[in-house]
Amino acid sequence: MQKYEPFIEFSEITPSAKITTADHGWKAKCLQRLIRMDLPVPATVALPARTVRLIASGQSIDSKAILSHFGPDSLVSVRPSPAGPDWGGPATILNIGLNAARHTALCQSHGRAAADALYTRFVQSYAIHVARLDPDMFEDVSPGPEALREVLRLYEYETDEPFPEDPARQLSEVLRSMARAWEGTSARLLRQAKGAPEEAGLGLVVQRMAQGIGQGISGSGVIQFVDSVTGCARITGRYLGQSQGRDALAAREALYLTRDQRGPSLEDTAPAILQDLIGMGASCRIRLREEMQIEFTIEDGVLAVLDAVKVARSVRAGLHIAVALAEDGVISPRDAVLRVEPRALSELLHHQVDPRGPRDVIASGIAASPGAATGRLMFSPEAAQASAARGEPCILVRRETAPEDIRGMHSAVGVLTERGGMTSHAAVIARGLGLPAVVGASDMRINPREKRLTSRDGRIFSEGDLITLDGSRGEALAGQAETLPPALDDSFRQLLAWADDFRDIGVRANADTPADAANARRFEAEGIGLCRTEHMFFEEDRFTVMREMIFADTPADRASALSRLLPMQRADFSELFDIMQGLPVCIRLFDPPLHEFLPATREGLRELAEALGKPLSEVTRRAEALREVNPMLGMRGVRLGVVLPEIYDMQAQAIFEAVIDAAARGTPVVPEVMIPLVSARREVELVKTRIDALAATLRSRSKAAFDYRLGVMVETPRACLRAGEIAQHAAFLSFGTNDLTQMTYGLSRDDAGRFMNTYVQQGVFPEDPFHILDTDGVGELLLMGAERGRQTRADLRLSICGEHGGDPDSIAFCRRAGFDYVSCSPYRVPMARLAAAHLALKENPEI
């Protein structure tokens, strides 16, 4: 390290120089590693961030001292070197030191055309990045012998002074402009968005130019050893003769690196140099513990390595690279797990709209369920079913969805709604089914009767028109967009297996149907944390029996309908138990208001009257009688269980009989039976008494021993407050944060989409609380419920099964609160497993 007057502090990068990422930045440190590996890096000097900061504040610079390191006639480049590799920085400037005298010398050594091209390029980049002239000024300068004279003239005309000839002055101005650019507001905001701390500094590296221009083989290029999209081993990159910097990437005529049918390659021209580069890539991978892209120059057949940067990569490639490095013992499984961002995983589970393709957006809303699908527009569940029957994929478009749309949703490849929020019906069901969904797309209008959709820019789309849904971005696109397939490969499974070794909170799946349960297994959930049994009644045959049960006038009629539902439910549970193979299954007793099973239209009522063999007037009257002003706060959940206890009796019997059958087939299971929407201890007592009695009867009747756990779903604020006494009758509490959020805010989960964007934009809510757990308010109720419950019962099992269960921040909250597990839709299970591992690893550097 040397100090000069005027003060300037810098270090030549040598194997033993004291270069640190914190002081000199990531690039400087990386270059030192390359130098330690004996790679042919041209002489380089690093300025630490504190010096760069002084330069920005006006400190004069002794650039002569820096240049003295490079020999009298050398040209140099300056590159930004922030501490984080992804924090960006000002543009690199090449060829500093070029002036009339050097130009003349270059004309002799390299020929006039090459000398002119280099000088012209330097003047332009100096003019734009240092003198801050408008880049458009140089648009009309055509390449050729006149170009150099023209850019020098423009420079002088605009700045009122000739282009600086003194290399030291050129370097000082470059350093100053880069230092100041880093302090600018937009640069600050940009890097903060990429995760840089507010006070992040910038190091700079000054390097002797290795000219890619010369008499023998000369040129420059970049090479990498893995594919940026897939992460698989493959040499890619470009090389361009008589060029500098990253020219090869932009040039049409660049060479391929390895032998290629499409054109000439570096392997043909300079096979030994390619071999050297491959060797260097292999050592970089091991020493830098990363897949690197190497920037190189060849000057008269001599190879120089100018830089190495982390290979730019897709999520899928990032995962593949991390696993391959750990499998080769280059990094530990712990590091591999930490290198993959949990939220990014969902991109790998579904088809994605190819980010490189064009996007013609016709509507935008909430990105309720990720993935991409293309299909024909259909405006009713019946049309969707018919389309599926014809083998034509379709997108179901509705104002909002209701239970009677479920069959249509099953038939569709994606769902688009005008209304709704993150936990509205359409969103919850679509996530469960793994269908891409965009909800609350209020910038479009639909007219289901005329089967038309009016896009946000006024275009009309009709039934049968092709659209693509991008559920990851919350957009509907016109036509068929290019998509990328899911990537559930061996690397994916390996990474999650490692994650499971580290995490310390359980992850289960919300699964209502055998298909969901199969997905839960596919994503290796540790069990089912919520089986919403009402979803089992939406198939045609059951729907009708269910409606008969609802329309029963007398207990005897109800009992008759229930006795027909019993075997169907038993078969449902048997199938679930078989799929889950002894893993825990938490079954929630019937929850929704009964009228959700009634038709919403006159036509539907007529069909129902026909099916039930009752007069339309009677069916209409009964449907009216069941209608409630606030159904979500009405006769649902445990209230149904108390008022019409036969429904829960039937479900409990079906569960226990399925358990007995499963044990007989060699798959013993201890089911968890969960009572929804509880707000008072007595509700639990009443249900528990009947279920315990029923279990006793079945045990003695079947002579089979079986066990079960009865628990409570905590989704009303009162249940949190009274968790202490509720826990007297519950083996577990599972927090249903969808309803709990709805009731804590007094905010309808089905209507929130209308104003949620405005609320978030105006800072009323930091985030959509149906999406990201409100740890302040709802979280306080959660903590209160957990603590009061555990005071009553130290071994009380605690979990969360609302949609928040899959969100990394919510998982962090639940983990801190001592919850046993989180449960989320199957497609979020991988993200939850990885997020939980990150939390444990970040808290315990030892593991």
Tell me the closest approach of the beta carbon of residue 666 to ligand PEP, in angstroms: 32
* Nearest-approach distance from CB 502 to Mg ion, in angstroms: 31
Which of 90, 802 has the CB closer to ligand PEP?
Answer: 802
Pairing of strands 672-675, 585-588: parallel
Q: Which does 532 bind (CB under 5 to 8 A by kind): ligand PEP, Mg ion, none?
A: ligand PEP
Pick the closer one to ligand PEP by CB: 325 or 428.
428
3-state secondary structure of 206: strand
Q: At what angle do helices 315-327 and 490-502 cross, to 10 degrees?
A: 70
> Treating both helix axes as pointing N-terminal to C-terminal, what angle do 167-183 and 49-56 enclose, rounded to 10 degrees?
90
In this chain, which of 428, 444, 528, 654 binds ligand PEP, going by CB under 6 A? Answer: 428
When the beta carbons of 121 and 588 are compared against Mg ion, the nearer one is 588
Positions in 495-554 near ligand PEP (CB under 6 A): 530, 532
Rounded-to-integer distance, Cα 309 and Cα 294, Å: 7
Based on the shown chain and the rule CB under 6 A, indicate whether residue 802 belongs to the binding site for ligand PEP: yes
| Signed CA dihedral, 65, 69, 75, 76: sign only | negative
Instruction: State the nearest-atom distance from the C-beta of 805 to ligand PEP, in Å.
Output: 8
Exposure string for 504-514, b = 16+ CB within 10 A, e = fewer: ebbbbbbbbbe
- Annotated active-site residue 801? The verdict is yes
Contact 4, 62 (CB under 8 A): yes
For residues 573 and 571, what is the distance between their CA atoms, to the nearest angstrom?
Answer: 5
> At 667, is the secondary structure helix, strand, or coil?
coil
Among residues 112, 113, 135, the alpha carbon closest in space to that of 124 is found at 135
Catalytic residue among 30, 394, 531, 801: 801
Binding mask 696-715 for ligand PEP (x = CB under 6 A): -------------------x
Number of residues that bind ligand PEP (CB under 6 A): 11
Could you list the residues that contact Mg ion (CB under 5 A)? 715, 736, 739
Distance CA 362, CA 552 (A): 46
* The entry of ligand PEP, Mg ion, none that residue 593 binds, CB within 5 to 8 Å by partner kind: none
Cβ-defined contacts of 618-622 (< 8 Å, 24+): 619/551, 622/551
- Residue 368 binds which one of ligand PEP, Mg ion, none, with CB within 5 to 8 A depending on kind? none
- The torsion angles phi and psi of 479, rounded to 5 degrees, stand at 75, -165
Shortest CB 758 distance to ligand PEP, Å? 24
Measured distance CA(83)–CA(201) in Å, rounded: 7
Which residue's CB is nearer to ligand PEP, number 407 or number 532?
532
Task: Give min distance, CB of 635 to ligand PEP, in A.
Answer: 15
- What is the rounded distance in angstroms from the CA atom of residue 709 to the CA atom of residue 501? 28
Site for ligand PEP in 713-772 (CB under 6 A): 715, 736-739
CB 806 within 8 A of CB 491: no
Question: Least CB distance from residue 545 to Mg ion, whole Å?
Answer: 24
| Cβ nearer to ligand PEP, comparing 98 with 586 | 586
Q: Which is nearer to ligand PEP, 77 or 744 (CB)?
A: 744
Alpha carbons within 13 angstroms on the beta-carbon side of residue 798 total 26
The three-state secondary structure class of 545 is: helix
420 binds ligand PEP (CB under 6 A): no
Q: Give the one entry of ligand PEP, Mg ion, none that residue 154 binds, where binding means its C-beta sits below a cut-off of 5 to 8 angstroms depending on kind.
A: none
- For residue 428, the partner it binds in ligand PEP, Mg ion, none, with Cβ less than 5 to 8 A by kind, is ligand PEP
Residues 582-601 that bind ligand PEP (CB under 6 A): 591
Long-range contacts, 70-75 (Cβ 8 Å, 24+): 70/43, 70/208, 71/208, 73/97, 73/102, 73/105, 74/208, 74/209, 75/102, 75/208, 75/209, 75/211
Residue whose CB is nearest to Mg ion in the complex, by number: 739
Closest CA to 368 of 419, 430, 443: 430
574 binds ligand PEP per the rule CB under 6 A: no
Toward ligand PEP, which CB reaches closer, 466 or 773? 773
CB of residue 428 to ligand PEP, shortest distance in Å:
6
Nearer to Mg ion, 516 or 715 (CB): 715
Residue nearest to ligand PEP (CB): 736
Given a contact cutoff of 8 angstroms between Cβ atoms, the answer to whether 743 and 715 are in contact is: yes
Q: Which residue in 24, 425, 595, 838 is the catalytic one?
A: 425
Least distance to ligand PEP from the beta carbon of 737, Å? 5
In the complex, what is the shortest distance from the CB of residue 566 to Mg ion, in angstroms, rounded to a whole number? 25
Closer to ligand PEP at the Cβ: 636 or 722?
636
Please, what is the Cα angle at 92 between 88 and 94, to 5 degrees? 170
Q: From the list ligand PEP, Mg ion, none, which binds 737 (C-beta under 5 to 8 Å, kind-based)?
A: ligand PEP
Asked if residues 757 and 712 have their Cβ atoms less than 8 Å apart, the reply is no
Q: Which of 319, 331, 466, 801 binds ligand PEP (CB under 6 A)?
A: 801
Positions marked active-site: 425, 801
Contact footprint for ligand PEP (CB under 6 A): 428, 530, 532, 591, 715, 736-739, 801-802
